Amino acid sequence: MKPFNEAHVAEPGLIVVDVAAADEETAIAFQKAIADRWATATADRATRDPGQPGVRLRCYLDLRQDVTTESTPVASS
């Protein structure tokens, strides 16, 4: 993969994630799983490097946001 720009990790809580997977479906599923939890700049598709097995995908995470959890609805009386 190409080097990433230092601006992508200029502050604490910013992360560049490079994913290597056997197939695009797996790479996209992983990306979706982390995007459901944190602010994520996602990729539309994975790429293949000629002569290399599997696919590659890069996404950017912002861990500075509060992670929200599903809340149970409160019954009214």
Q: Per-residue pLDDT tens for 43-72?
A: 888 999 899 899 999 888 888 876 665 544
Q: Is residue 26 part of a domain?
A: yes
- Give me the domain span that covers residue 39: 14-62
The 3-state DSSP class for residue 57 equals: strand
Query: What confidence tens digit (pLDDT) does each residue in 7-16 have?
Result: 556 678 888 8
- Cβ neighbours of residue 33 closer than 8 Å, sequence gap 6 or more: none
Please state, in angstroms and rounded to a whole number, the distance separating the CA atoms of residues 11 and 64.
Answer: 9
What tokens appear for 9 in the block? 């990790």
Q: Is residue 75 part of a domain?
A: no
Q: Is residue 54 part of a domain?
A: yes
> How many domains, in total, are found in the chain?
1
The 3-state DSSP class for residue 4 equals: coil
Please state, in angstroms and rounded to a whole number, the distance separating the CA atoms of residues 4 and 60.
Answer: 10
Q: Is residue 71 part of a domain?
A: no
Q: Is the whole-model pTM more than 0.75?
A: no
Q: Is residue 76 part of a domain?
A: no
Q: Is residue 6 part of a domain?
A: no
Q: Is residue 31 part of a domain?
A: yes
